[in-house]
């Protein structure tokens, strides 16, 4: 889910660039907009199921589902934040 969330953020960035910087070139704006919508729907369904099966926590699911329609960056940031918290710290080097 983390990889798809990051890809979704890239698609959304492309949509913003097409819509506001490049003057809405068609069909690129349509394709990116449709991709954003379908990715958001898929991620929302997957996150609801992932919470149900205790794969992700509710905070992450809410970031994906509620805030993802406005900007998927919230879900990507939350994935990265929680990943850093779960990552084990590196063992200190042994001194001789």
Taking the C-alpha atoms of residue 61 and residue 1, their distance in angstroms, rounded to an integer, is: 11
Report pTM. 0.74
Q: How many helices (H) and strands (E) does the chain have?
A: 4, 0
Please check the confidence at residue 95 and state whether its pLDDT lies above 60.
no
Work out the pLDDT band at 15, boundaries 50, 70, 90: very high
């Amino acid at each position: 889910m983390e990889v798809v969330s990051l890809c979704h953020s890239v698609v959304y960035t492309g949509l913003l660039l097409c819509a506001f910087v490049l003057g809405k070139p068609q069909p690129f704006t349509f394709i990116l907009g449709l991709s954003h919508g379908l990715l958001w729907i898929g991620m929302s369904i997957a996150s609801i199921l992932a919470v149900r099966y205790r794969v992700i926590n509710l905070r992450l699911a809410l970031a994906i589902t509620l805030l993802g329609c406005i900007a998927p960056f919230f879900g990507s940031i939350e994935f990265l934040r929680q990943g850093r918290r779960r990552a084990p710290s590196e063992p200190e080097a042994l001194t001789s």
